[in-house]
Structure 1
Amino acid sequence: MYRHLLVALDDSPLGDATVTRSVEFARSAGARITFFHAAPDLAATGEGALLYTLDQEAFAQEAAGAASAVLVKAAAAAGAAGVSCGTESRTSDQPAQAIVEAAHRHGCDLVFVSAHGRVPGLRGWLRHSVTQHLLQLADLPVLVSAVESNDACAPAARALGIVAGEHRAIAAVLQGLQHLVRAARLPGQQLDVGLAAEMVRYLREFPGTQHHPKEETVLFRLLRQRTHELDHVLLELERQHGQEQRRVQALADALSRYDSSEAASLEAVGDAVQQLAGTVWEHMGMEEALVFPAARRYLSEGDWSEVAQAFTTHDDPLRELQPGLPLERLFRHVAAALLRKDMAGVAPAAASATHA
Structure 2
Amino acid sequence: MYKHLLVALDDTPLGMATVTQSVSFARALGARITFFHAAPDLAATGEGSMLHSLDRQAFTAESDMPRHAVLLKAATAARIGGVECSTDALVSDHPAQAILEAAQRHACDLLFVSSHGRVPGLRGWLHSSVTRQLLQIANLPVHVASIESNDEQADANRALAIVAGEHRSIAAVLTGLQQLDRAGRIDGTIPDVALMRQMADYLRQFPTRLHHPKEEAFIFRLLRQRTSEHNAVLDELERQHVLENTLIDALFTTLARHGHGDADAAEAVTAAVQRLSGAVWEHMSLEETVIFPAARRHLTSADWSVVYKAFSAHHDPLFSHSPEMPMRQLFARIATALQ
Q: Report the TM-score when normalising by structure 1.
A: 0.89
Alignment-derived partner of residue 221 in structure 1? 221
The alpha carbon displacement at 1:336 in A equals 3.1
The alpha carbon displacement at 1:211 in A equals 0.4
Give the direction of change, closer, same or farther, for the CA distance of 1:67–1:325 in structure 2 (3 Å limit).
closer
Give the direction of change, closer, same or farther, for the CA distance of 1:269–1:295 in structure 2 (3 Å limit).
same
Amino acid at match of 1:249: D
Alignment-derived partner of residue 134 in structure 1? 134
Give the direction of change, closer, same or farther, for the CA distance of 1:168–1:294 in structure 2 (3 Å limit).
same
Please state whether the residue corresponding to 1:83 is helix, strand or coil.
Answer: coil
Partners of 2:300 and 2:275 lie apart in 1 by 37
Partners of 1:212 and 1:156 lie apart in 2 by 18
**8 Å contact from structure 1 (residues 38, 95) kept in 2:** yes
Partners of 1:202 and 1:49 lie apart in 2 by 32
Q: Which runs of 4+ in 1 moved over 4 A?
A: 259-263, 317-320, 329-333
Amino acid at match of 2:254: A
Alignment-derived partner of residue 51 in structure 2? 51
Which string of whole-angstrom CA distances, capped at 9 and with x for unpartnered residues, describes residues 4-45 of structure 1? 111111111101110111000000000011111111111222
Please state whether the residue corresponding to 1:87 is helix, strand or coil.
Answer: strand
The alpha carbon displacement at 1:297 in A equals 0.8
Please state whether the residue corresponding to 1:6 is helix, strand or coil.
Answer: strand
Which string of whole-angstrom CA distances, capped at 9 and with x for unpartnered residues, describes residues 213-260 of structure 1? 110111111111111111111111111111111111111221222259
Amino acid at match of 1:36: F
Please state whether the residue corresponding to 1:90 is helix, strand or coil.
Answer: strand
Partners of 1:325 and 1:142 lie apart in 2 by 35
Partners of 2:85 and 2:317 lie apart in 1 by 34
The alpha carbon displacement at 1:123 in A equals 3.0
Percent of paired sites with the same residue: 59
Alignment-derived partner of residue 22 in structure 2? 22
Give the direction of change, closer, same or farther, for the CA distance of 1:148–1:330 in structure 2 (3 Å limit).
farther
Alignment-derived partner of residue 62 in structure 1? 62
**8 Å contact from structure 2 (residues 21, 145) kept in 1:** yes
Alignment-derived partner of residue 6 in structure 2? 6
**8 Å contact from structure 1 (residues 35, 86) kept in 2:** yes
Equivalent pairs, count? 336
CA RMSD of aligned residues (A): 2.1
2:145 is the counterpart of 1:145: yes
Partners of 1:330 and 1:307 lie apart in 2 by 29
The alpha carbon displacement at 1:197 in A equals 2.2
The alpha carbon displacement at 1:318 in A equals 9.6
Gaps of 5+ in 2: none
Alignment-derived partner of residue 154 in structure 1? 154
**8 Å contact from structure 1 (residues 34, 85) kept in 2:** yes
Give the direction of change, closer, same or farther, for the CA distance of 1:318–1:222 in structure 2 (3 Å limit).
closer
Alignment-derived partner of residue 268 in structure 2? 268
Alignment-derived partner of residue 347 in structure 1? none
Q: Report the TM-score when normalising by structure 2.
A: 0.93
Give the direction of change, closer, same or farther, for the CA distance of 1:299–1:261 in structure 2 (3 Å limit).
same
The alpha carbon displacement at 1:49 in A equals 2.1
Any residues of structure 2 matched to 1:112-131 within 5 Å, and which?
A: 112-120=112-120, 123-131=123-131
**8 Å contact from structure 1 (residues 72, 335) kept in 2:** no
Amino acid at match of 2:229: E
The alpha carbon displacement at 1:69 in A equals 1.1
**8 Å contact from structure 1 (residues 173, 334) kept in 2:** no
**8 Å contact from structure 1 (residues 220, 234) kept in 2:** yes
**8 Å contact from structure 1 (residues 14, 161) kept in 2:** yes
2:246 is the counterpart of 1:246: yes
